[in-house]
Amino acid sequence: MSLHPVVSRPGGRSSRVLTAVYTSVGELVGEGADKITFPVIAERAGVNPTTLYRRWGDVTDLLEEVAVAALTRESEAVPDTGSLEGDLTDWAIAIARDIARPQRARFLRAMVAARIDIVTSCAVTDTRREQASLMASRADERGEKSPTAQQILDHIIAPLYYRVIFALELDPEYARQLVGDVLSMAG
Amino acid sequence: MSLHPVVSRPGGRSSRVLTAVYTSVGELVGEGADKITFPVIAERAGVNPTTLYRRWGDVTDLLEEVAVAALTRESEAVPDTGSLEGDLTDWAIAIARDIARPQRARFLRAMVAARIDIVTSCAVTDTRREQASLMASRADERGEKSPTAQQILDHIIAPLYYRVIFALELDPEYARQLVGDVLSMAG
C-alpha cells in the first residue's frame, strides 16, 4: 500500500472527506461489521463510492492506512529514556496497551482477515521496524549492546500482536518479559 | 473450546458426519467465504444445523477444532533428533511450511477474524506449548541448556504466525533464524 498525500490544506474538502472515511471505517470495525466494502464505507461516510475506488483501489489498502494513521498518532514519539532497556520497555508497554483495546483488537483482526494474497510490505510492520531501528541505533551511539531491529520486531512486536490477534490476554508484565528476552540476545 | 469425543467407532455415523463437517469447513475457508455460519456449513455438509449447534455451541469452536485437527495430523510426531537445536529447527521449519500454504493461511485468518471476545485458551497455542514442553524437557534430560516452553512459543511460534497472519513472506530460512535467537536465550 502507499499513502496518498492529497490533504493539500488543513480543513479543506479533502481533509473533511478523509476524516469522514477514517471515522466510518473505525466505526464499522468497532461494530464488528461482517463485510467492510467500499459501498458500505461510502454510505456511512456520506461520500461517493467512486471517490474511494479512485483513491485507494482496494479496501485492504484503506483499512491498513487507517490502522497506521491511528497507531502513528498514538505512539509518534519513540521513547528516549537514555537506555535501551528503558526505551524498549516503555515502547512495548505502550503498544501492548494500545493494541489490547477491544476496538483496536477488532480492527487488527478485520485488517488481517481482509488479506488474501501475500503482501510485499505491511505498513504496521514497516512503522514498527523504523521505530525499532531508531532505538537500536541510539543504543549503538551510547555504546550499549543491542539486538537488531529485526530481532526487536520478531521477539517483541510479533508476540504482542500474536496475543491480540488470537484474542489472548495481554498485560504490561508480558511486554516486560519480552523485553528481557530480546535484551538477552544482544551481542 | 473442548473436543467432544463422540466418534465411538471408526466408520460409524458420527465419524461420517464429522468428516463431512470438517471437509465443508475447509472448503468454505479455502474459497474465502465471507461468512462461515452453522447454517452455511450444515448446508454444505448435508447435515441438520441443529447437529452443529448441539455439538459445538459456537462456530468459533468448530473452526478451531478443525484447525487443531489439521495441525495435529500433520505434525503429530514432535521431532526427536538428539539435540534441542535439531528438534527446534525441524519443528519450526515443518510449521512454517504448513501454515504458509495458502489454504492454511486463509484458514488461520478466518479463524482469528471470527473471534470477538478474549479467549481463556487457544487450542493452537496449547498444542504448540505441549510440543515445546516436550522438546525442552528432553533437552533438560540430556543436560542441554534450554529456553522455557513459553520462550519457545513467544519467540518461534508467535513470529511464524505473525508472518502468516499479516500475509508476509515466510520461508524456512526465517524459521532457522528464530531458532538461533531463542537458543541464545537459553541459560
Which helix (H) or strand (E) segment is B129 a member of? helix B123-141
Chain B CB contacts of A95 under 8 Å are none
Q: Is residue B114 part of a domain?
A: yes
Do residues B53 and B99 both lie within one domain? no
Give yes or no for A161 touching B (CB within 8 A): yes
- Whether the Cβ atoms of residue B21 and residue B62 lie closer than 8 Å to each other: yes
Could you tell me the residue range of the domain that residue A90 belongs to? 76-183
Q: Is residue B125 part of a domain?
A: yes
Task: Give the dihedral of Cα atoms B114, B157, A174, A177; nearest 10 deg.
Answer: -170
pLDDT for residue B101:
79
Cα angle vertex B170, ends A178, B136, to 5°?
A: 45
State mean pLDDT over B77-87: 93
- Whether the Cβ atoms of residue B18 and residue B46 lie closer than 8 Å to each other: no
What CATH number did the domain enclosing B158 receive?
1.10.357.10
Reported as a single tens digit per residue, the pLDDT across B63-72 is: 877 777 665 5
Do residues A92 and A15 both lie within one domain? no
Give yes or no for B155 touching A (CB within 8 A): yes
Please identify which residue in the block is written with the cell numbers 489439521: B70
Residue B2 binned pLDDT confidence (cut-offs 50, 70, 90): very low
Do residues B41 and B95 both lie within one domain? no
Q: Tell me the three cell numbers of residue B96.
A: 512454517
pLDDT higher at A8 or B181: B181
The distance of B156 to chain A (nearest Cα, Å) reads: 8
Q: Answer yes or no: is pLDDT of B119 > 80.
A: no
Cα angle vertex A26, ends A130, B102, to 5°?
A: 65
Do residues A123 and A164 both lie within one domain? yes
Give yes or no for B173 touching A (CB within 8 A): no
Q: Is residue A3 part of a domain?
A: no
Pick from B25-39, B83-97, B167-181: least confident: B25-39
Please tell me the total count of domains within chain B.
Answer: 2
Average pLDDT, chain A: 82
Which helix (H) or strand (E) segment is A172 a member of? helix A172-183
Dist CA B5 CA B77 (whole Å): 21
Do residues A114 and A164 both lie within one domain? yes
Do residues A147 and A179 both lie within one domain? yes
| Most confident by average pLDDT, A2-6, A96-100, B33-37, B109-113 | A96-100
- Amino acid letter for position B167: A
Q: Is residue B56 part of a domain?
A: yes
pLDDT higher at A177 or B105: A177
Residue B60: which of B1, B120, B125 has the closest Cα? Answer: B1
- Locate the chain B residue with the closest alpha carbon to A166: B112
What is the value of pTM for the model shown? 0.74
Q: Answer yes or no: is pLDDT of B14 > 80.
A: no
Cβ contact, residue pair A162, B166, below 8 Å: no
**What is the percentage of chain A residues whose pLDDT exceeds 90?**
41
Do residues A96 and A174 both lie within one domain? yes
Reported as a single tens digit per residue, the pLDDT across A101-145 is: 776 777 777 677 666 666 667 777 888 899 999 999 999 999 999
- Locate the chain B residue with the closest alpha carbon to A181: B185
Do residues B55 and B91 both lie within one domain? no
Nearest residue, CB atoms, A166 vs list B122, B159, B169: B122
Do residues A105 and A26 both lie within one domain? no
Do residues A83 and A161 both lie within one domain? yes
- Whether the Cβ atoms of residue B93 and residue B157 lie closer than 8 Å to each other: no
Do residues A34 and A122 both lie within one domain? no
Dist CA A88 CA A147 (whole Å): 11
Q: Is residue B2 part of a domain?
A: no
Do residues A44 and A134 both lie within one domain? no
Dist CA B157 CA B86 (whole Å): 16
**What is the percentage of chain A residues whose pLDDT exceeds 70?**
79
Task: List the single best residue of B162, B171, B173 to mutate versus A (max A Cβ within 10 A).
Answer: B162
Domain final position from B23, B54, B69: B69
Residue B116 binned pLDDT confidence (cut-offs 50, 70, 90): low
What CATH number did the domain enclosing A31 receive?
1.10.10.60
Please identify which residue in the block is written with the cell numbers 466505526: A27
